[in-house]
Structure 1
Amino acid sequence: MGTLVINQLLDFTFHAYGRSEGVCGIIISDHAYPALVAHQLLSKVVDEFLEANPRSSWETGEPRIVMPQLKEYIDKYQDPHQADSILKIQKELDETKIVLHKTIESVLQRGEKIDDLVQKSDGLSAQSKMFYQQAKKNNSCCSEEPGKYGGIDG
């Protein structure tokens, strides 16, 4: 139904969309502007132009035809991420991935801290057992000779 053409010159990309009815739309953008979004806009603008203006109204060139919604489209499509729902979702996904990576990194760091606490706890447990065994050993020598340390003899 139409022909899409992309041409790059210096710092600009020229997006052109021509229709068999004799109408063509052109967008000049920088190289970073997504071609898919430019083509969506061109297709939309040319289609709406043809719906609102039959060939007989423009093929002679008179009177001059205006398209008031064109300014709205230009404003809306300045940010391709807001204009194209797929790009918008992709941007949101990218932002979510960044947050997830930070969260996972934080959880892993907490996991390392938990591992450190477990090791310290194991060390304290081993020291407690040694203290208990030493205390038991020390107390056992005291109970072998009743009365020797001021206890009551039987």
Structure 2
Amino acid sequence: MKLYSLSILHKGATKSHLLKAAYELSFFSFFQRSSLQEFMTFTSALIVERTSHGSRASVKEQEYLCHVYVRNDDLSAVVIADHEYPQRVCFTLLDKVLEEFSRQVDSIDWPSGNPETINYKALDVYLAKYQNPKEADAMTKVQNELDETKIILHNTMESLLERGEKLDDLVAKSEHLGNQSKAFYKTARKQNSCCEIM
């Protein structure tokens, strides 16, 4: 899972222009990087121009997915990622970046802004932080931890059975179960034994 580009743009009446961008192109050869950067900037601007206000979209371009969010105030952001990167995390990143950018950079500077003159330095940090969606996004991290917990619980149950212990023996020896519960277990076990797959 990789993020290649994170851009903030202003959507004008006919044309959009770049306000700030960050790129992670170390995955490509040195000689391809400048062309790829130009292509990603061009693609981001084109997608913003063709996306309506108040919209989010994902656009496939060759082996990349371009995720765009164009706000009603003309501020827009695009992230270019590979196909494996989770879409929800991309849109979370776009929301966060646009919200922070709009607080730090005056909206008067958006239509005429220039990447060299706009003072917003967080894009490189976000691009690096979000390279691992499990660490950057709390929901993804929690889901991953829950998945690991399920696997650990499943493995623990399997390891009990692998040691040669039978559940019937554990129930019979249990101090936590009363005689009535033990009898109920035996009855249920007998009734379900006809349904077991050999």
TM range (shorter): 0.5 to 0.7
TM-score, normalised with respect to structure 2: 0.53
Partner of 2:49: none
**1:1-154 matches, cutoff 5 A:** 2-62=54-114, 64-110=117-163, 111-112=165-166
Partner of 2:16: none
Q: Which has the higher contact order (CA 8 A, sep 6+)?
A: 2
Counterpart-to-counterpart distance in 1, 2:130 and 2:110: 26
SS of match in other structure, 1:106: helix
SS of match in other structure, 2:120: coil
- 1:36 is displaced (CA, Å) by 0.8
- 1:95 is displaced (CA, Å) by 1.3
Counterpart-to-counterpart distance in 2, 1:11 and 1:97: 33
RMSD after superposition: 2.1
Counterpart-to-counterpart distance in 2, 1:91 and 1:97: 10
For structure 1, list consecutive stretches of 5 or more residues without a partner in the other structure. Answer: 116-154
The 1:51/1:113 distance shift into structure 2, 3 A limit, reads: closer
Counterpart-to-counterpart distance in 2, 1:70 and 1:85: 19
The structure carrying a bigger helix percent of its residues is: 1
Counterpart-to-counterpart distance in 1, 2:124 and 2:147: 30
Fraction of identical pairs, as percent = 39
The code of the aligned residue for 1:45 comes to: V
The code of the aligned residue for 1:100 comes to: L
The 1:109/1:13 distance shift into structure 2, 3 A limit, reads: same
Deviations 1:21-54 (A, max 9, x none): 2121000001111111100110111111111112
Counterpart-to-counterpart distance in 2, 1:113 and 1:4: 53
For structure 2, list consecutive stretches of 5 or more residues without a partner in the other structure. Answer: 1-52, 170-198
Higher mean C-alpha displacement, 80-89 vs 61-70 = 61-70
Partner of 2:42: none
The code of the aligned residue for 1:28 comes to: I
SS of match in other structure, 1:46: helix
TM-score, normalised with respect to structure 1: 0.67
Name the larger-Rg structure: 1
